[in-house]
Amino acid sequence: MEVVPVSHFTQNLAKPYINLNHHGLGPKGVKAIAIALVSNATVTHLELEDNGILAEGAIYMAEMLRENCSLQELNISNNHLGTEGAEAIASLLLDNASYLYALQLSGNNFGEEAASCLAEALMGNYQVKKLDLSHNEFSEKGGQLLGQMLGNLIHYSPRGRIASMLTGGHDGVSTVNTYFLLQQKCPML
């Protein structure tokens, strides 16, 4: 029988920060959390790393984020989201349909297709300022797509989205860490 840490979650719904990392929530547990957060105006930072939420859970989170107006920081790293999960998140980002400014997507088995949809979405997104895509499986082509997106953001950057860092792996797999910093902190860009 799967047990979701309901009491820990419900006790913290009135606090701005909830950490449910490593609780084995799975897609069903995240669906329950997403439903509870749709109209929550208190939680601003949610940690859901390593919960096996899969693409199904990413879809639930994306649906919730379209309605929630308080969540600003989300960590769904190491959840095996894959391409379908990346597409759900990318759709949300492309529509600028959330208040997220920090998003951690590290270690989610994203490949070239995920890189393509995320790069396209991030080109039009003005909300996200900090994004972690490290420890994914981007090919050289995926790294190039994300690198081009970063180059365009730096060149055509609206005020506030100006800096980034891209690093390549040694085995043909690119690791991408992206940081969009406030212009006041880096005036030379």
Least confident of 70-74, 108-112, 149-153, 179-183: 179-183
Any domain includes 11:
yes
Helix (H, G, I), strand (E, B) or coil at 108: coil
Residue 12, pLDDT score: 87
The answer to whether the beta carbons of residues 52 and 26 sit under 8 Å apart is: yes
Residue 126, pLDDT score: 85
* Domain boundaries, position 38: 6-185
d(CA 109, CA 114): 9
**Whole-model pTM?**
0.82
Mean pLDDT score, 26-47: 96
Mean pLDDT score, 153-178: 44
Q: How many domains does the chain have?
A: 1
Torsion of CA 116, 114, 178, 162, to 10 degrees: 30
Any domain includes 1:
no
Q: Is the pLDDT of residue 182 over 80?
A: no
The answer to whether the beta carbons of residues 79 and 48 sit under 8 Å apart is: yes
User: Parallel, antiparallel, or unpaired: how do β-strands 174-179 and 165-168 relate?
Assistant: antiparallel
Torsion of CA 54, 35, 65, 114, to 10 degrees: 10
Residue 4, pLDDT score: 58
Residue 169, pLDDT score: 40
Q: Is the pLDDT of residue 166 over 90?
A: no
Angle at alpha carbon of residue 45, lines to 41 and 51, rounded to 5°: 115
Any domain includes 75:
yes
Any domain includes 70:
yes
Q: Give residue 6's pLDDT band: very low, low, confident or very high (50, 70, 90).
A: low
The CA-atom distances, in angstroms, between 171 and each of 35, 80, 140, 189 are 41, 21, 10, 31
Residue 132 pairs in a beta bridge with: 104, 177
pLDDT digits over 74-117, tens only?
Answer: 999 999 999 999 999 999 999 999 999 999 999 999 999 999 99
Q: What is the CATH number of the domain that holds 57?
A: 3.80.10.10
Residue 10, pLDDT score: 83
Compute and round to an integer the Cα radius of gyration of the chain. Answer: 16
Any domain includes 16:
yes
Tell which wins on pLDDT, 122 or 186: 122
Mean pLDDT is highest, among 75-79, 148-152, 179-183, for: 75-79
Q: Is the pLDDT of residue 170 over 50?
A: no
